[in-house]
């Protein structure tokens, strides 16, 4: 919605920081008194804040998120990123050092009930992460640094806040989402792409109950080849889009 995009653009890093600090304060106080407040609820607070703020702006009826970009282009970006992501996970698994760095600063919604975890991973995380990293951080950085630098910094922040084995793929995914957002000027486009990405990734995870993806050599050779091809497609696309961004 246009009102949502306006609200995001008007939200400053100070506002985001205040929300985060307030929530951490609540988290610490609750913990002191023996209550467990899951940090993933901070995502919901941020989303709720943006939605409330969007009510200040005149709502419009045009909600066609594919008015400036074709669906098949977004779908292709998601698919190649999923293949590349699994390729990076396989590399991390092969190196067998994930136990040393297997942490994530982004709260995992899988700590709650199974259904709640799916909703959090497929819906809440994509919405909140796009609002935070593309909607707020990217827009604020664009005001003080060149757009290319803003993309790199916001994507780097997005990448390092993911667990080991996912940092590089998350960084690359962040670059793609930044470009989608800038090209369309509509936060719903990267949100939609992020939801699809998490849906496909989670579906593969839950369908692969016997860990075939990481234990079958033929399957992993296939995924490795697809990951390399996907990386080539991603880098080639980023190279083309980078020239477009230079003109903005």
Tell me the pLDDT tens digit for each residue of 159-196: 988 877 788 999 999 999 999 999 999 999 999 999 99
Separation CA 211–CA 155 (nearest Å) = 30
Pick from 179-188, 193-202, 218-227: least confident: 218-227
Structural domain boundaries of the chain? 66-246
Total length of the chain: 248
Give the model's pLDDT for residue 182: 93
Asked if residue 198 lies in contact with residue 125, where contact means CB atoms within 8 angstroms, the answer is yes
| Cα dihedral sign, 47-157-246-141 | positive
């Amino acid at each position: 919605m246009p009102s949502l995009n306006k609200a995001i653009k008007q939200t400053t890093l100070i506002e985001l920081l205040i929300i985060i600090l307030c929530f951490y304060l609540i988290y610490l106080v609750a913990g002191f008194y023996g209550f467990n407040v899951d940090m993933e609820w901070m995502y919901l607070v941020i989303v709720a804040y943006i939605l409330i703020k969007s009510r200040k702006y005149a709502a419009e009826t045009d909600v066609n998120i594919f008015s400036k970009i074709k669906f098949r282009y977004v779908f292709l970006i998601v698919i190649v990123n999923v293949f590349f992501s699994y390729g990076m996970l396989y590399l991390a698994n092969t190196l067998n050092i994930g136990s040393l760095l297997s942490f994530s600063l982004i709260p995992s919604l899988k700590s709650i009930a199974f259904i709640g975890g799916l909703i959090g991973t497929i819906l809440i995380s994509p919405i909140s992460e796009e609002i935070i990293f593309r909607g707020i951080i990217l827009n604020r950085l664009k005001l003080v640094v060149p757009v290319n630098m803003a993309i790199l910094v916001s994507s780097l922040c997005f990448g390092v806040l993911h667990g080991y084995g996912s940092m590089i793929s998350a960084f690359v995914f962040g670059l793609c989402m930044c470009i989608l957002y800038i090209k369309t000027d509509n936060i719903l486009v990267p949100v939609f792409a992020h939801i699809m990405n998490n849906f496909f990734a989670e579906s593969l995870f839950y369908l692969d109950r016997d860990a075939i993806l990481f234990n079958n050599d033929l399957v992993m050779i296939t995924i490795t080849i697809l990951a390399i091809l996907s990386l080539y497609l991603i880098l080639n696309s980023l190279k083309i889009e980078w020239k477009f961004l230079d003109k903005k």
